[in-house]
Each structure stands twice: as structure tokens, then as C-alpha cells.
Amino acid sequence: MQKLSLDALAREHLERAAAAPNGRSAATVYGGHEHTLRQTLLALTAGTSLADHDSPGEATLLVLRGRVRLTSGESEWEGRTGDLIVIPPARHGLHALEDAAVILTVARRG
């Protein structure tokens, strides 16, 4: 069994994001290319975005800290600490409205 402190990991990666030129930091929390399930912690400083990209499979976004906006086409959803957003199976992007840390969970298409 493995146990992680998501709070400590979020804090660490928010510090790394603040020091990074692109305002981002990420780490795989669980899984990877050899697994169906993958969980990644993403930390973004306020104003930082992930450009539109294709959906790799079923996915959710759990906001650990801060506020983010997920966009897909003409639709958008705002998430704040504690919110879970189901990511649509379409091109989408993410924008940090304030310093934010999220857990991206993806179940890869087989």
C-alpha cells in the first residue's frame, strides 16, 4: 500500500510552479503509460493556461486549491477548492484564475 499527502504535494508543486518560467509544475501521482488509470497533480500560477488539447480518455479534474476554468468549445466550467469537474470527451483547455493545484485523473482508452 502507498499513501501520499496531496496537500503537501500541492504545496511543493505550487512553489515549483511559482519558480518556473512557464508557471507550471506537474507530477504523476499514480499510474503511467503502462496503466489504464493515471493521476497527475498539476500546479499552475494565476493566469497560466494549458492550451486546448484532445481528451485522452475518460477524465476528471479535482481542484485541491485555488480556482480554475475548464473550457471546451463554447462551454466553460469554473472549479474551486473541493470541486470535481468531469472533463468532456472533446478538445479542452484549462486556465488558472488564481494559483491552483488540481488532480487530473484519466482512464485511458483501450
At residue 61, the pLDDT reads 96
Confidence (pLDDT) at 78: 97
Residue 27 belongs to some domain of the structure: yes
Grid coordinates representing 81 are 477548492
Which CATH number goes with the domain that contains 82? Answer: 2.60.120.10
User: Based on the structure, what is the number of domains in the chain?
Assistant: 1
pLDDT the model gives residue 110 = 61
Among 11, 30, 8, 21, smallest CA distance to 100 is for 11
Q: Which DSSP state fits 17?
A: H
Q: Name the amino acid, one letter, at 22.
A: N
A 10 A CB-CB count for 109 gives 10
Q: What residues of the chain score a pLDDT lower than 50?
A: none
103 occurs within a structural domain = yes
Domain with 72 in it: 6-108
Q: Tell me the pLDDT tens digit for each residue of 66-82.
A: 999 999 999 999 999 99
Report yes or no on 1 lying in a domain: no
pTM reported for the whole predicted model: 0.92
Which residues touch 41 (CB under 8 Å, ≥6 apart)? Answer: 6, 9, 10, 13, 26, 27, 29, 64, 101, 102, 103, 104
